[in-house]
Amino acid sequence: MSKTVTLTIDGKQVTVPEGTLIVDAAKKIGVDIPVFCYHPKMQPVGMCRMCLVEVGRPVVDRATGQVVKNEDGTPQIRFAPNLMTACTTPVSEGMVVLTESEKAHDGHRAIIEFLLTSHPLDCPICDKGGECPLQELTMRHGPPQGRFPYEDKIHFEKHFPLGELIYLDRERCILCGRCIRYQAEIVGEPVIGFYQRGRATEIVTYSDPGFDSYFSGNTTDICPVGALTTADFRFGARAWELKAEASICAQCPVGCNIVFNTRREAKSGGRVVIKRVMPRQNEEVNELWICDKGRFVHHYTHSAERLSRPLMRKGETLQPVSWEDALRTAAEKFEAAGKEVLVLASGRLSNEDLFNLKALADGLGGRAVLYGDMGGGDLTTLVGVGQGTNLATLGAGDAILVIASDLQEEAPIWWLRVKQAAERGATLIVANPRATKLDTYASFVIRYANGDEVQTVLNLAKKTDKIGQAFAEAENAVVFFGSEGLGLEGSQRLAVACAHLLRETGHVGKPNNGLIGVWQRANDQGAWELGFEPVADLQAAFEQAGAVYIVGADPFGDGRLTLDGVKERPFLVVQEILPTPTTEVADLVLPAQAYAEREGTYVSGERRVQRFYAALPPYGEARPDFAITAAIGKRLGLDLEDGSAEKVFERLAVTQPAFENLTYARLAEVREQWPIVGRGDLYYGGTAYENRRGLGVQLVPAAQREEPVTLPEVQGEAGPRPEEDEWLGVPVTRLLDRGTTVLLSTLLHRRIGEPFVVVHPMAAERLSLAEGQKARLTVNGASAEVTVRVDETVSAGVVLVPRSMGLPLYEPMKVSLKAL
């Protein structure tokens, strides 16, 4: 156990580990020492001097080394002549700290007055107004009147775009450096910095495009003034007009805890709309951070294009019908199809939705299929990370393997947490056919040829080299496997190989050990847990079905399904929130509520079941997915729950062993986290929200339940290799893609860009192409215009094709690329 020291702060005694800073020790006993530059996630720098306190230490007799006592037996305390910064001074035994003395207050007043010599009087028009540490501390500690002539205040250009997402108001900046240190220390992307000196100092961006980082929005939360604002929210609403409701980000498998800030407003036709998305603290998931995709992709929820009424095909067009007609028709068609019903659902749906959909398919004797092209979920249910796993506790002596995944593009907050684990000393092994940003932090980088994924894992399992030995000897080991360069079959094979590696090295069935799938959707893991699996030939499954029920997926838009050449098309029911190419070809369209409009749960890639809550009223006549499915099921005589998401979850928990004993109440439990945010003060975590609505519960994998685990046999190669004189197109994932919901956030369009492919410079030369040039990519008979990018780490003979960019490539296959 680490040594502790006991000290007194404002008359209250506190015992904390040696080395704790005064500011943190005070926080633990409810004393909020004012800070600006200090942030508990970053190294202290003592730049702003706001945290000045009086510090006294026991007087020690030099001759005896004993503490000198007063007459009453209490230790004599000698106070330092000057105030000290609580954010840089560690505690010591017997220390006495005064934060509310007159001298300390004088210090606070002087610092506030000094800051206000430059700061404009913007509060009435400032986005931070109402939740601003400077405003609040000025009210608490500032002088009643400024002595500095207003005309002498420094004036800078206001509303300066650091990038298209983040704006800087230079006059408001108090030069605390939090934003710069966040980018440098936490993200490792120092794309902003100080420029000039003295009163002329300002923040500038060094990157092109400006502020080029997927984590830029977090700086607006931790900026203690209104200097940094997002282009999305600035001038959008006042803080006190906003309501807050807890949710989970649905954009990737990390499952970041978030808050939707909403407001009813005239310009949105009197509707309640999401005004901004903020992080909600969960130290085991996302700490205090979210990525820019999670922050800015919310505009689809109030899109005027939303489906608001059931629609039925009459001739060539879809016509509005009543819910009763729609549900009756769906039930009749499903009943007629019986065993030939195909339910195709995506991991965009909640567990409750998927549970009812599976029950409907099972009740009819039909088939429930997961929409996606990544396999391995059966393995994560067996040897996935165990309960008690927390990436923040991985460090020296532990190992992490990331294979076939570009974590920053696929799950940005995992990228951040894996990077931090490596910085704490964990052995990070990054295996990928090309360079990714995680390589910088890796102890070992393995560059394999496409098709060698399985062999790469088998080589590690042999433990014949220092990489394999480091993995095998690690106290704890986690494997992140993805689907970069792979399709369904290849990723399944890779997952099997990873599962064997983990088991053979004794890294399953305990906390901080096991397999994690870098899924393409937020609840893919939940879908696998509930028995959904993808199929290899989706088109064949579609054509063989008598009726198809597609929920939360756009296979026609993605080019996964086509009606071309289909002789007898099945009756097609599509349940969606927005019109898509799939709804366009549907016979019946059922409008679903966006997840922000209803309750439910997701299972994150780390197998944590987390609750989300209704932040918005329903749109039009849209209903929750689970309720629509239950209503159809009831018409078929099936006993499906439609009362509430909680009631569906109750059924789910008694039928699914992994969910045993889970309830909505358990998922909503919270406990105190460090750092402490919220509690009415804004100084620490910025405007991140305190978690009052649940930290979630991790599922117990079969290996941790000590059930016998039978793994499938490892099979040969994961995918094809490039052939001589051919180009092998391989899919990769990008964070900002051209998905229907993403594209409705116009702010992101510049970052999303046009469809592109990436090739090796030599390949570009062979094809007579250059960086930035337009070319035509042909895949499987379909073709699209793309921009060419070059990357010398990409294998020759391989063309990287991003998913969801309008290019129908889901597994490695031959492509052609021609200059336009």
SS (H, E, C) 227-271: CEEECCCCCCCCHHHCEEEEEECCCCCCCCEEEEEEEEEHHHCCE
SS (H, E, C) 719-750: CCCCCCCCEEEEEECCCCCCCHHHHCCHHHHH
Residue 227 interacts with ligand SF4 (CB under 6 A): yes or no: yes
**Which of the ranges 44-52, 434-442, 502-510, 799-807 carries the binding residues for ligand FES, by CB under 6 A?**
44-52
Q: Which helix (H) or strand (E) holds 816?
A: strand 813-819
Q: Kindly tell me which of 53 and 630 has the beta carbon lying closer to ligand FES.
A: 53
And the tokens for 15?
A: 């015992």
And the tokens for 508?
A: 């399953």
Minimum Å distance from CB 22 to ligand FES? 10
* Residues 6 or more apart whose Cβ sits within 8 Å of residue 698: 385, 386, 387, 388, 389, 606, 607, 608, 609
Residue 50 interacts with ligand FES (CB under 6 A): yes or no: yes
| Residue 290 interacts with which of ligand SF4, ligand FES, none, CB < 5 to 8 Å by class | ligand SF4
Ranges assigned E (strand) in 249-393: 257-265, 271-279, 311-314, 317-320, 341-346, 367-371
Q: Kindly tell me which of 28 and 243 has the beta carbon lying closer to ligand FES.
A: 28
DSSP 3-state percent helix, strand, coil across the chain (nearest 5) = 30, 25, 50
Minimum Å distance from CB 737 to ligand SF4? 12
Within 505-660, residue ranges assigned H as helices are 524-529, 538-544, 581-584, 625-635, 645-655
Residue 50 interacts with ligand SF4 (CB under 6 A): yes or no: no
**Which of the ranges 49-57, 380-388, 584-592, 609-617 carries the binding residues for ligand FES, by CB under 6 A?**
49-57
| Residue 203 interacts with which of ligand SF4, ligand FES, none, CB < 5 to 8 Å by class | ligand SF4
Residue 37 interacts with ligand FES (CB under 6 A): yes or no: yes
What's the full length of the chain, in residues? 820
Residue 174 interacts with ligand SF4 (CB under 6 A): yes or no: yes
**Which of the ranges 33-41, 69-77, 446-454, 800-808 carries the binding residues for ligand FES, by CB under 6 A?**
33-41
Single-letter code of the amino acid located at 116: L
Residue 627 interacts with ligand FES (CB under 6 A): yes or no: no
Judged by CB under 6 A, which of 27, 49, 170, 302 binds ligand FES? 49
Judged by CB under 6 A, which of 51, 126, 404, 589 binds ligand FES? 51
Q: Are strands 399-403 and 477-481 parallel, antiparallel or unpaired?
A: parallel
**Which of the ranges 32-40, 122-130, 331-339, 409-417 carries the binding residues for ligand FES, by CB under 6 A?**
32-40
Site for ligand FES in 55-114 (CB under 6 A): 85, 87
| Residue 249 interacts with which of ligand FES, ligand SF4, none, CB < 5 to 8 Å by class | ligand SF4
Minimum Å distance from CB 418 to ligand SF4? 12
| Residue 497 interacts with which of ligand SF4, ligand FES, none, CB < 5 to 8 Å by class | none
Q: Considering only CA atoms, which of 457, 407, 454 is closest in space to residue 435?
A: 407
SS (H, E, C) 79-129: ECCCCEECCCCECCCCCEEECCCHHHHHHHHHHHHHHHCCCCCCHHHCCCC
Residue in this structure with the two tokens 């809550």, named with its chain if needed: 613
Q: Kindly tell me which of 45 and 59 has the beta carbon lying closer to ligand FES.
A: 45
State how far the Cα of 511 lies from the Cα of 502, in Å rounded to an integer: 13
Q: Considering only CA atoms, which of 221, 232, 236, 234 is closest in space to residue 278?
A: 221
| Residue 49 interacts with which of ligand SF4, ligand FES, none, CB < 5 to 8 Å by class | ligand FES
Residue 222 interacts with ligand FES (CB under 6 A): yes or no: no
Residue in this structure with the two tokens 């290899």, named with its chain if needed: 536
Q: How many residues in the shown chain lie near ligand FES by CB under 6 A?
A: 12
Judged by CB under 6 A, which of 126, 252, 495, 699 binds ligand SF4? 252
| Residue 87 interacts with which of ligand FES, ligand SF4, none, CB < 5 to 8 Å by class | ligand FES
Residue 47 interacts with ligand FES (CB under 6 A): yes or no: yes
The reply to whether omega before 675 is within 30° of 0 (cis) is yes
| Residue 254 interacts with which of ligand SF4, ligand FES, none, CB < 5 to 8 Å by class | ligand SF4
State how far the Cα of 689 lies from the Cα of 246, in Å rounded to an integer: 9
Q: Kindly tell me which of 249 and 496 has the beta carbon lying closer to ligand SF4.
A: 249
State how far the Cα of 596 lies from the Cα of 491, in Å rounded to an integer: 31
Judged by CB under 6 A, which of 14, 21, 25, 36 binds ligand FES? 36
Q: Kindly tell me which of 35 and 311 has the beta carbon lying closer to ligand FES.
A: 35
* β-bridge mates for residue 550, sequence order: 344, 574
Minimum Å distance from CB 41 to ligand SF4? 13
Residue 688 interacts with ligand SF4 (CB under 6 A): yes or no: no
Minimum Å distance from CB 192 to ligand SF4? 8
* Residues 6 or more apart whose Cβ sits within 8 Å of residue 512: 385, 386, 388, 389, 390, 393, 394, 398, 476, 478
Residue 181 interacts with ligand FES (CB under 6 A): yes or no: no
What is the spatial order of strands in the sheet that 697-698 belongs to?
600-603, 608-612, 697-698
State how far the Cα of 326 lies from the Cα of 521, in Å rounded to an integer: 28
| Residue 411 interacts with which of ligand FES, ligand SF4, none, CB < 5 to 8 Å by class | ligand SF4
Judged by CB under 6 A, which of 7, 9, 25, 35 binds ligand FES? 35
Q: Which helix (H) or strand (E) holds 24?
A: helix 22-28
Site for ligand SF4 in 393-422 (CB under 6 A): 411-413
| Residue 38 interacts with which of ligand SF4, ligand FES, none, CB < 5 to 8 Å by class | ligand FES
By CB under 6 A, name the binding residues for ligand FES: 35-38, 46-51, 85, 87
By CB under 6 A, name the binding residues for ligand SF4: 173-179, 203, 223-225, 227-228, 249, 251-252, 254-256, 286, 290-291, 293-294, 411-413
